[in-house]
Structure 1
């Protein structure tokens, strides 16, 4: 993989990524007249749950569903300047113009009165564009294009892991208007959190308790159990297994685990990355064939925290959709939203069977 680093007009970092053997690229100049982005994000600690809640009011002005000819993630062409100051690209990552967490936060001081606590939301948020094709999707990428994106995720995970204040690196994709995306161009994001988020913390705490009780790794035991049972397995390959989790929350949900424990994306070998691409594109294709329109989804990587639990964590991807039927969505209503108690719409074994059949 070839990487070319540059800066946008307001000082934000941008990196172009090209497959090996591509013509050498030079960082293109961003000629827009952009004021420096001022982030005023803060984190407030919820004394009832112990969770940190980010407040990023400056994001209210972010771009929302522009027409295709005004897409900020398309290449800069025909006199129109976008966020990518080049006429073409294969994959690109850049600092978000409207970040929830930023390396430089102004106007927020840390304070703690014993009940209420506030801190600057110091971290990093990046956008990753999977392709220059505005009408494309991850599912429509070639294996070579998808493999490049995997390498980008690994590269940015390594870079953000060395960013001061970052405790957890989270690459993810939101796809579809039903999910709430504000830009239709095929892209994802990477958050560098200044804390370990609740989902990751809960999984690691459960894994720690399991190890103390049994001496074994919980993630590894789950993989072994799913492979032995088989009823929820969607794809079983040389290096990866994709299965509907035993206690799936969502109408469609698939978890992807490497069969050998690694803590994060940079730790994946070449063969493991190639095999993941085959499995992931397979499952995304199955998602899109279930209904008459492409499946909206969220896909998020669970990796080891930066500074803790590397011996405990087991890299995996969690993919899920809120679509529960043709033209029907699952809404997080009273039980889910108010109490965090999920009620599943479809048995996990039925989910897996449907995905295997398509």
Structure 2
């Protein structure tokens, strides 16, 4: 019996965690959404929005009249630049352990237009987004070991501000997920002499079943171990460990990959597809070879059957391990079939893939 027909578990080599896959529960013909999507129309400029150009934010500062991206220190950042004193007992306690931390949190507006998300931006605007990610990484990685670039898109993912934006958090400690991935990739490299994700790219290219998009420098797949329904992994095909190493061609082709993937997402349910996404760079300034790393981004979208029905990680997922019904291969086939022309641009017309 094949994997697509039997209940089984799949291991995520980046984390060492397992996912329970139950394809017999959901491997049936895809009928699409039955619920109407939320078609709320946003204006191009909102005078009440704290992220729109020239508007005033909560701290009294005004945004410039920016034309592409704009980055500023988060007015309500989760990290502070200086460390606070902690009780000495907590620093060495096995049961009540705490540690100092400090860092910076920034907000990055993707566009001056209040109503344009990543898939709706023109290519040059997407290139500006990637170039800004790189510039922010180059600056912050001089002071911090861990630079987390991410985006929460949609109210369903807890995003309270509709103006398209992402965040950049930087700190000296390795975040838990980056630390785990670092350990797993290093162990693999020490055993095999090759990078885990470099080998993974080759195997996915040879298989093709889970590939959503590929160009000269980037590969998008629904990973074999995906936990979320339409989870994807965006991988550098080149020997690149962090944003600082990207050249102009890699930035240009990354913009293309982002456009295609996020457009396909929106076209699955004809809605602004919610997700949390984030980039994982190799830890910075450790003074060691990071060849076990490859730059990559995770996209974790919760939507399952429509613009309003999401998968919840509850019960068994919280207490045992992740579980999914829709196989990674089925999810990939749906994304493969989705148009690369945004549904808003083809309203009232037939979609052409």
> Does the pair score TM above 0.5?
yes
Equivalent residue number for residue 132 of structure 1: 112
TM-score, normalisation: structure 1? 0.76
Q: Any idea what the Cα deviations from partners look like across 1:182-228, whole Å, max 9, x if unmatched?
A: 21111000010331122222222222221222222111110000000
Quickly say closer, same or farther: Cα 1:234–1:86, change in 2 above 3 A: same
Give the superposition deviation at 1:130.
0.6
What is the Cα-based RMSD across aligned positions, in Å? Answer: 2.2
Q: SS where residue 118 of structure 1 aligns?
A: coil
Give the superposition deviation at 1:108.
5.3
* Alpha-carbon distance between aligned partners in 1 of 2:311 and 2:149, rounded to the nearest angstrom: 24
CA contact 1:95–1:125 (8 Å) conserved in 2: yes
Residues 1-12 of structure 1 correspond to what in structure 2 (within 5 A)? Answer: none
CA contact 1:72–1:82 (8 Å) conserved in 2: no
Equivalent residue number for residue 321 of structure 1: 301
Give the superposition deviation at 1:89.
3.4
Equivalent residue number for residue 5 of structure 1: none
Q: Residue 323 of structure 2 is aligned with which of 336, 343, 350?
A: 343
Q: Residue 357 of structure 1 is aligned with which of 308, 329, 337?
A: 337
CA contact 1:89–1:131 (8 Å) conserved in 2: yes
Quickly say closer, same or farther: Cα 1:106–1:210, change in 2 above 3 A: closer
Give the superposition deviation at 1:107.
6.2
Instruction: Give the number of equivalent residue pairs.
Output: 289
Higher relative contact order (CA 8 A, sep 6+): 2
Equivalent residue number for residue 158 of structure 2: 180
* Alpha-carbon distance between aligned partners in 2 of 1:267 and 1:356, rounded to the nearest angstrom: 30
CA contact 1:263–1:315 (8 Å) conserved in 2: yes
1:171 aligns with 2:152: no
Q: Residue 260 of structure 1 is aligned with which of 235, 238, 249?
A: 238
Q: SS where residue 242 of structure 1 aligns?
A: strand
Quickly say closer, same or farther: Cα 1:217–1:312, change in 2 above 3 A: same
Residues 225-240 of structure 1 correspond to what in structure 2 (within 5 A)? Answer: 225-240=203-218
TM-score, normalisation: structure 2? 0.77
Equivalent residue number for residue 121 of structure 2: 141
Quickly say closer, same or farther: Cα 1:347–1:130, change in 2 above 3 A: same
Q: Any idea what the Cα deviations from partners look like across 1:251-287, whole Å, max 9, x if unmatched?
A: 0111111211211111011111111111110111000
Q: Any idea what the Cα deviations from partners look like across 1:127-173, whole Å, max 9, x if unmatched?
A: 1111111111111111100101111101111111122xx22101011
Quickly say closer, same or farther: Cα 1:102–1:228, change in 2 above 3 A: same
CA contact 2:58–2:75 (8 Å) conserved in 1: no
* Alpha-carbon distance between aligned partners in 2 of 1:348 and 1:324, rounded to the nearest angstrom: 13
Q: Residue 251 of structure 1 is aligned with which of 229, 232, 235?
A: 229
Unaligned runs of 5+ in 2: 1-44, 339-353
